[in-house]
Amino acid sequence: MSEIKDIVVIVGSLRKDSINRKLAHALLALAPPSLKLDIVEIGHLPLYNQDYDADSPAAYTEFRQRILRADGVLFVTPEHNRSVPAAMKNAIDIGSRPPSKSVWGTKPGAVISASPSMQGGFGANHHLRQSLMCLNVYCMANPETYLGQADKLFGPSGELGEIGRSLLTKFVDAYAEWVRNW
**C-alpha–C-alpha distance, residues 108 and 140, integer Å:** 7
In this prediction the pTM is 0.96
Per-residue pLDDT tens for 16-37? 999 999 999 999 999 999 999 9
The domain locations on the chain are 5-180
Would the pLDDT of 12 be above 80?
yes
Nearest to residue 168, comparing CAs of 141, 140, 146?
146
| % pLDDT > 90, the chain | 90
Would the pLDDT of 2 be above 80?
no
Cross-strand partners of 138: 108
**Homologous superfamily of 5-180:** Flavodoxin domain (3.40.50.360)
27, 11 contact by CB (below 8 A):
no
Per-residue pLDDT tens for 104-161? 999 999 999 999 999 889 999 999 999 999 999 999 999 999 999 999 999 988 899 9
- DSSP string of 57-80, one letter each residue: -HHHHHHHHHHHH-SEEEEEE--B
